[in-house]
Amino acid sequence: MTFKTPLTLIAAATLLVACGKKEEAPKAAPAPAAVVVKIGHVGPISGAIAHLGKDNENGARLAVEELNAAGVTINGQKVTLELVAEDDAADPKQGTAVAQKLVDAKVAGVVGHLNSGTTIPASKIYSDAGIPQISPSATNPKYTRQGFKTTFRVVADDVHLGSTLGQYAVKTLSAKTIAVIDDRTAYGQGVAEEFTKAAEAAGAKIVDKQFTNDKATDFNAILTAIKAKKPDVIFFGGMDAVGGPMLKQMKSLGIKAKFMGGDGICTTDLIKFAGDAIGEEQVYCAEAGGVEGEGKAGMDDFRAKFKTKFNADVQLYSPYVYDAVKVMVAAMVKANSSDPAKYLPELAATADFKGVTGPITFDEKGDIKNGALTLLTYKGGQRTQIAVIR
């Protein structure tokens, strides 16, 4: 009888185990890393008009969240949009610093800035880097007249806004004498200048010109000087955080003139800043943009979504920020690329994009064609629409 050695038995056992062992399934290939497309947003999140900057930023956040939820595919690949938000504090120096920061972060595009005074100097930095920029609220004409191919805006400029208000003051409010105040910012001076031109062309006399700054709180000296001239209308080129206290001091000095301003004062927060000095149809202003007819339903829907998401009412320009983000992404999709150099021509060619703020078509300068303006007043403690003008 032959006996197997222990080594032979071990080998046989190993063979049996190997034969009975199931083959392991091949491991699944790792999922491809998600492609992230960065979109910058800049506005004043600190300082006197932080409420407007936050309103703008929330408009961008809502657009990015909706697009990500719906799914964005660029050149056959699903992408995730990432909002890179920066604070410029409405300060030109800080505005250029954060613009360079966004360039270094390699954002695909920028929506912002809010103020003309920060938007204009930042625009050169984006232009030099070839990064498209859409401002939802900077209305100074200079912004799109610098010859940059990267600058766009989705609201009407101060030429349209200031001239409309100037004509309204004379033809509708029957103003014969007008005093003008500006806050020395690019926005404030620009809109005051356009208002003055239109009011004078319509036959009014400018009886006084004064200026303050965008952080001032005491206006007694300039208002006392104006009171002596007995103007029918006082026009202020500036923002609501300054306009509100100015209205309070006008009331305390017994000045009965109508108070007018551009989109900077035309906010729901002006009521809070002015208190009972807001009066009844005492304040008139114009907001760049506006919808009517069939477009009103889309804007109402946006306002409801915004309120649900952020537990806050729309202040002013968040719908325009929302549209600007969507216009920018639509151009990327159409170009099959988020590379700024490749999608910039598609952005410039945008025509009849259906936004919540109305149809968007850019002209050769990057300005919106046939931009709307909304004339408003305040009564019963509410901002009340008078008319939408194109």
The tens place of each residue's pLDDT in the chain, 390 residues long, gives 444 444 443 444 444 344 444 455 556 555 556 799 999 999 999 998 999 999 999 999 999 999 999 999 999 999 999 999 999 999 999 999 999 999 999 999 999 999 999 999 999 999 999 999 999 999 899 999 999 999 999 998 888 889 899 999 999 999 999 999 999 998 999 999 999 999 999 999 999 999 999 999 999 999 999 999 999 999 999 999 999 999 999 999 999 999 999 989 999 899 999 999 999 999 999 987 777 777 788 989 999 999 999 999 998 899 999 999 999 999 999 999 999 999 999 999 999 999 999 899 999 999 999 888 889 999 999 999 998 887
Are the C-beta atoms of 222 and 210 separated by less than 8 Å?
Answer: yes
For the domain spanning 35-155+292-370, the CATH number is 3.40.50.2300
Asked if the peptide bond before residue 113 counts as cis, ω within 30 degrees of 0, the response is yes
Which of 132, 134, 138, 123 lies closest to 150 in space, CA to CA? Answer: 132
Provide the token pair at 276.
Answer: 């009972």
Residues of each domain in the chain carrying CATH 3.40.50.2300: 35-155+292-370, 159-288
List the 109-111 sheet strands across, edge first. Answer: 72-74, 77-87, 35-43, 109-111, 133-135, 151-153
pLDDT at residue 288, rounded to an integer: 75
* Side-chain-facing half-sphere of 252: CA atoms under 13 Å: 14
List CB contacts of 372: < 8 A, sequence separation 6 or more. 156, 288, 289, 290, 291, 358, 388, 389, 390
Which of 145, 179, 136 lies closest to 355 in space, CA to CA? Answer: 136
Three-class secondary structure of residue 25 per DSSP:
coil
Homologous superfamily of 159-288 in CATH?
A: Response regulator (3.40.50.2300)
pTM: 0.80
pLDDT at residue 131, rounded to an integer: 98
